[in-house]
Amino acid sequence: MGGTAGWFGREPRLPDVQEQVAERLRHRGSDAEGVYRNPGVILYHARLSIIDPAGGTQPMISSDGRYALVANGEIYNHVELHAELEAAGADFRTHSDCEVILQGYALCGESILERLEGIYAFALHDVIRDELLLARDPLGMKPLYLSRQPFGVAFASEIKAILPMLPSAAAVSPIPLVQYFENQHSLGKETVFEGVERVRPGEAVLLGQGVEKRRWFHWRLNTVAPTTPADPVGELDSLMETVFTQHQRSDVPIGLFLSGGVDSTVLLGLMRRYGVENINTFSLGFPGSSVGDELDTATQLAKHFGARHHVITPDADALLERFVHTIWAADELMRDWANLPTSLLAEQASSQLKVVFSGEGGDEVFAGYGRYRSSNSERWLKRLFYPGTGGFRARGDLRGGLRRQILGEQLLAARSAWRQPLVDSWSGYPQSWSALQKMQALDLQHALPDNLLIKADRMLMAHGVEGRMPFVDRRVVEFGFALPDALKRDGREGKKILKRWAGSFMPAEHFSSGKRGFHVPIRDWWQGERLTRLGKVLAGNSAIQTWCNPAGVADLVTRQGHKGDRARTLMTLLQFAIWHRLFIEGSGEAPPARVDPLDFLEGT
């Protein structure tokens, strides 16, 4: 676990900026650092020690010196793979989970990717062939980015570590920026940083002589065929026992982020069911705000299962002063206000442990969202006006004149292409899939890795905490996705099979209430003097003046003062202005951990 970066090509840029790169990644792993150098390649690793703390230092070098590896993540089936590879002749020198990548590649080549179960992003150098393999886990739980330069390729776990290796200052890419405004995050391979792209979930990139030789998917959801198990509950039980047992493997204690919803509380039940002792749970809520929370439910469940429960109830100032740092931590321009409480929870957890379970993915895998239960007539109507995605994820967020009110001319010219990655994905799905499966797939391919998993990875790793999310395990995703629709949802309820299965070890009354979701009370924050000051800051901001419509932004502030219904859009603009200051006007250096966001933009 930790962070990686490197350079592969003729011009070794990394040595000149190595300290800047390292400084931008040390939050991901402060336990150790390592560097591998070979003509034309440099690999850097910052380590967060989880498995084999004494022996798992990276970079890892094969005994014959041919292969070098830096990896970020955990290989959950490393015990099983270790035994298989050792029997086949592998010469293991540690008990680190990541060494199975190195030894597996030496014995099996690229096919080892099909046998890894876990969360990972890695770079592996073959000295003899002078090739570098970059690969990312199937669901995109661990990040990996690259930038192709005239004399080589730069790569890193976070974009902020790539920026010092660019030949010039970072620039904005217009279409991904429109996607941010319309869709909360950019879509597909491109990021909002011009010339910096994602290695996509389940993708591998082979580099040779400083250029891309081959790019392919070692796993794709498109290959999963619908199936009807003879005993679906029994099969799910057996699968979760295997997956959860492997996810528990750690040489350090594991806690849990407990929201009170179905997914996280099922994980709590599994922790107790499979013998985890001294469980620490962490919850956050907003008593007295305009949004509800599930703190009471979480507290009752923690008591029921005998966990040590930690509750945080921050006020607006305690969250807003984290806003700048969360934007820096994410470095992708994605707007999910839950970044703020997640960051606070991670900081609280980091004082006691290095690993937490979290419930991301349950809604996508087992069809828990209400949007999956929309009527055929509703989707038909949306399909007429917004073709290409079956009436799902059809409209952007800028509706009712908002688009022209806030977007500048460059973004208006680029906006016609913002949905194209969604349309391309939808058109590539097998005809045999149901409408529900296509909706699930679109979320699993885009919203999950480029929003929810960015939140989980970046906010936790910013405080040196690893997140483990069993519902996003490839095996669980394939099982849930392949099930018949009727086992997942009907017109009133989602996650039907998950609830049936969990009823054997969870309190029966827990699943009786509907899904509430988690909401941050941002509407409460922007009023009075703070709103007035926000209007002045946005009016004078260079990013807003360059990319947006300043007059329309001013009208938004006025409307928020009268009706209080434009807080989300104003926070979207504020986040963009801060991001621009950090990464486009600045060089990606870390801001203060706590600072008033308006003070930050004003430079006070």
Alpha carbon of 369 to those of 105, 264, 323, 474, 496: distances in Å?
Answer: 39, 15, 27, 20, 12
State residue 13's pLDDT score. Answer: 60
Smallest Cα–Cα separation from 154: which of 34, 25, 43? 43
Mean pLDDT, to the nearest integer, of 486-513? 84
Quick one: tokens of 98?
Answer: 């990541």
pLDDT tens, position by position, 367-405: 999 999 988 899 999 999 899 999 999 889 998 889 999
Residue 556 has pLDDT above 90, yes or no: yes
Residue 512 has pLDDT above 70, yes or no: no
State residue 521's pLDDT score. Answer: 83
- Report how far residue 579's alpha carbon sits from residue 187's, in angstroms, rounded to the nearest whole number: 18
- Report how far residue 335's alpha carbon sits from residue 157's, in angstroms, rounded to the nearest whole number: 20
How many other CB atoms are there within 10 angstroms of residue 523's CB atom?
Answer: 18
Smallest Cα–Cα separation from 49: which of 25, 72, 69, 29? 29
Bridge partners for 46 per DSSP: 3, 33
297 — pLDDT class (breaks 50, 70, 90): confident
Quick one: tokens of 37?
Answer: 């150098």
How many other CB atoms are there within 10 angstroms of residue 404's CB atom?
Answer: 10
State residue 11's pLDDT score. Answer: 66
- The SS3 of residue 8 is strand
- Report how far residue 507's alpha carbon sits from residue 504's, in angstroms, rounded to the nearest whole number: 8
* Burial status of residue 170 (CB atoms within 10 A of its CB: 0-12, 13-18, 19 or more): buried
Alpha carbon of 362 to those of 52, 261, 490: distances in Å?
Answer: 30, 10, 16
Question: What is the pLDDT of the chain when averaged over all its residues?
Answer: 90
pLDDT tens, position by position, 112-159: 999 999 999 999 999 999 999 999 999 999 999 999 988 889 999 999
Lowest mean pLDDT among 208-212, 232-236, 263-267: 208-212
Smallest Cα–Cα separation from 341: which of 309, 312, 362? 312
> What is the radius of gyration, based on Cα positions, of the chain?
23
DSSP assignment, residue 164? G
542 — pLDDT class (breaks 50, 70, 90): very high
Alpha carbon of 589 to those of 43, 326, 328, 584: distances in Å?
Answer: 21, 13, 8, 11
Alpha carbon of 239 to those of 77, 115, 246: distances in Å?
Answer: 13, 16, 11
Lowest mean pLDDT among 17-21, 243-247, 285-289, 551-555: 285-289
Mean pLDDT, to the nearest integer, of 556-577? 95
- Report how far residue 527's alpha carbon sits from residue 303's, in angstroms, rounded to the nearest whole number: 38
Alpha carbon of 25 to those of 29, 69, 118, 135: distances in Å?
Answer: 7, 17, 21, 19
Residue 53 has pLDDT above 70, yes or no: no
- Tell me the range of 104-113, 283-292, 368-377 where mean pLDDT is highest: 104-113
232 — pLDDT class (breaks 50, 70, 90): very high
State residue 257's pLDDT score. Answer: 94
Widest distance between CA atoms in the chain: 72
Share of the chain above pLDDT 90, in %: 69
pLDDT tens, position by position, 176-199: 999 999 999 999 999 999 999 999
Mean pLDDT, to the nearest integer, of 481-491? 93
- Tell me the range of 230-244, 254-268, 304-318, 492-506 where mean pLDDT is highest: 230-244
Quick one: tokens of 322?
Answer: 């984290």
How many other CB atoms are there within 10 angstroms of residue 153's CB atom?
Answer: 21
State residue 277's pLDDT score. Answer: 82
pLDDT tens, position by position, 523-535: 888 999 999 999 9
| Global confidence as pTM | 0.94
- Report how far residue 373's alpha carbon sits from residue 339's, in angstroms, rounded to the nearest whole number: 27
